[in-house]
Structure 1
Amino acid sequence: MDLGLSGKVAVVTGGDSGIGKATAELLACEGAKVAVIDRTSQSLEQAAKEIGQFGEVFAVQADLTKPEEVESAKHQILARFGTVHILVHAAGITGATGDFLELSDEAWYKTIEIDLMGAVRTCRAFIGAMRKVGWGRVILISSEDAVQPYPEEMPYCACKAAVLNLAKNLSKAYAKDGVLVNAVSPAYIATPMTDAMMEKLSKQMNVSFDEAIASFLEENRPHIELKRRGKPEEVASVIAFLCSERSSFVLGSNWRVDGGSVTSL
């Protein structure tokens, strides 16, 4: 299936690993020119080399918690490509975890700055270019946690719920300009973020990494019917469709890629 992405300019945040990198690679394979944004220069440069095997890529280092760096990234990308047609916001962190009564304001603010305000800042930076050309796709990565929250991950869950609301609001605000906004909600994907969670769990339980994964699936994610972690490429495939000409009547939706983890429809 031709997704109609040849020549489109795509911006992918969190593009140095996980879902962001897999998405950048797939978009490049489909003929898009891809700008990847991340805050760590070394991993970003390595990812750009690997993504560059599939098409044109431009790496931009920026900390999404700093508005001036997001603006700088925007200017660099527009100077390189002239416009932007697609934004995939995949950058995020697990953030503070633990008992709600023990989480400080600072712990909340750090998660909000990255998981919510990072989405706000990147959308504010790039939607304007899409409006000018009359065509755009914005995909915000939320999570199963947005609709099926876990008390030990409360700041993350709250931010991801806010991202869903942001996507819906933006979809209503800019559809008239040809900018279609949707959300994708993965669950327990094999990324560096969940790797870190499993490494921590394996140490706590004094078991192997694989045993920690098996335990987490059984105890914490029993409704993942496929009984495994998802692959970044499986999420990227859904994102690529939503970025494409083929999704021209898809707007304000939340696409779950969760192996059945969310128990309701």
Structure 2
Amino acid sequence: MELGISGRVAVVTGGDSGMGFESAKYLLREGVRIVLTDIEDGKVQAAAKELAGLGEVRAIGADLSGLQGVETLKAFADAAFDARPTILVNAAGVTGATGDFLELSDDDWLATIQADLMVAVRTARAFIPAMREAGWGRIVLFTSEDAVQPYVEELPYCAAKAGLMNLAKGLSKAYGPDGVMVNSVAPAFVATPMTDAMMEKRAEELGVSFDEAIRSFLDEKRPGIVAKRRGRPEEVAAAVAFLCSEQASFITGENLRIDGGAVLTMGS
């Protein structure tokens, strides 16, 4: 399928590994020029070097949990190529604080919200003006199954992801008339460094192998995933690339689940 976005510039946050990295790879294959960012400069530069054979990539380390980091990213992205970015893929995020709700502090909540919600708020605010000026834009925010199917031990993450889903819907209404299409994707239990760490911790706690930790987690915690495996980052990235494309010009305000059936309800 011809996606019609060759030559455009995309900013991909959370791009040094996992779903952000794979999304950048898919967009590069479509001729998109990429500004890749993540919090650690060394890792994101290494990721950019790995991707360089597929197309034009520029990389910068930036801490987007504060305004200064977003301003640094915007200045870099605006100067990276001969056009300003009109695609934003916000894959940055962390699990954040977990545990009993009554034992989580305000600081636990605020740190998770800063990383999982406010990064998207700040980056969207930074890059939407150029999209409006161009009369064309695509934004894809990464939510989660947790946005609509919360887990009691991850409530700060769940609440932040629900906020992201609402943010995407609101931005789609506000800027759709300007040609800016805003959607979200909701992955579940995808093979990334974040879920690797979760399963390594589970394996240690249960005294089982990594693979057995995954199998038991699927049985006990994610019974809706009918494939009985973790998702693959490229399965998410393919959907992201489509939502960034001309082919998705009549899709906005949607939350696309890529969850293997994890969410057990019919709602969004």
TM-score in same-fold range (> 0.5):
yes
Is the aligned partner of 1:87 residue 2:51? no
CA distances 1:99-122 after superposition (whole Å, capped 9, x unpaired): 000001111111001000011011
- TM-superposed CA distance for 1:72, in Å, is 1.2
**Structure 2 CA distance for aligned equivalents of residues 80 and 88 of structure 1:** 17
1:61, distance to aligned residue in structure 2 (A): 1.1
* Aligned counterpart, 2:170: 169
CA–CA separation in structure 2 for the residues paired with 1:197 and 1:257: 19
Question: Deviation per CA, 1:42-73, whole angstroms, max 9, x where unpaired?
Answer: 21111001111211001011101110111111
2:64 matched residue in structure 1: 64
Give the match for residue 49 of structure 1: 49
**1:100 equivalenced with 2:94 (yes/no):** no
**1:230 aligned onto 2:234:** no
SS of match in other structure, 2:185? strand
Instruction: Give me the whole-angstrom Cα distance separating, in 2, the residues matched to 1:60 and 1:120.
Output: 19
Deviation string 1:201-243 (CA, Å, 9 cap, x unpaired) is 0110011111100110010001100000000000000010000
Which residue in 2 is equivalent to 1:181? Answer: 182
| CA–CA distance in structure 2, aligned partners of residues 69 and 63 of structure 1 | 5
* Partners of 2:234 and 2:34 in 1: CA distance: 17
| Aligned-partner residue type, residue 124 of structure 1 | R
Structure-2 residue corresponding to 1:74: 74
Say if 2:42 and 2:61, in contact at 8 Å, map to a contact too. Answer: no
Give the alignment of 1:1-265 within 5 angstroms.
1-81=1-81, 82-265=83-266
Over residues 9-45 of structure 1, what are the superposed CA-to-partner deviations in whole Å (9 max), with x where a residue is unaligned? 0110000000000000010011000001101112111
Contact 2:45 2:60 (C-alpha < 8 Å) held by counterparts = no
Once residues 101 and 240 of structure 1 are traced to their aligned partners in structure 2, the CA distance between those partners, rounded to angstroms, is 40
Tell me the distance in 1 between the aligned counterparts of 2:110 and 2:16: 24
TM-score of the pair, normalised by structure 2: 0.98
Q: What is the one-letter code of the residue matched to 2:70?
A: V
Q: Provide the alpha-carbon RMSD of the alignment.
A: 0.6
Amino acid at match of 1:192: P
SS in 1 for 2:115: helix
TM-score normalised by L of structure 1:
0.99
Q: In the aligned structure 2, how far is the partner of 1:3 from the partner of 1:230?
A: 24
- How far the C-alpha of 1:2 sits from its partner, in A, is 0.7
Secondary structure class of the residue paired with 2:257:
strand
Letter in structure 1 aligned against 2:48: A
For residue 54 of structure 2, give the secondary structure of its aligned residue in structure 1: coil
Q: How far apart, CA to CA, are the structure 1 residues paired with 2:66 and 2:133?
A: 25
* Post-superposition offset of 1:79: 1.1
CA distance in 2, matches of 1:34, 1:106: 34
The range that moved more, 235-244 or 35-44, is 35-44
Distance in 2, matches of 1:86 and 1:65, equals 20
**Alpha-carbon offset, residue 172 of structure 1:** 0.4
Letter in 2 for 1:229: R
- In the alignment, structure 1 segments of 5+ residues that lack a partner are none
Q: Which amino acid aligns with 1:95?
A: G
Q: Could you tell me which amino acid in structure 2 is paired with residue 88 of structure 1?
A: V
Task: Provide the rounded CA distance (Å) in 1 between the counterparts of 2:80 and 2:161.
Answer: 31
Q: Identity over the aligned pairs, expressed in percent?
A: 60
Query: Contact (CA 8 Å) 2:12, 2:35: kept in 1 or not?
Result: yes
Residue 199 of structure 2 contacts residue 213 of structure 2 at CA under 8 Å; is this kept in 1?
A: yes
How many residues are matched?
265
Residue 84 of structure 1: CA displacement?
A: 0.9
Partners of 2:126 and 2:198 in 1: CA distance? 32
Aligned amino acid, residue 145 of structure 1: D
Query: 3-state SS of the aligned residue for 2:53?
Result: coil
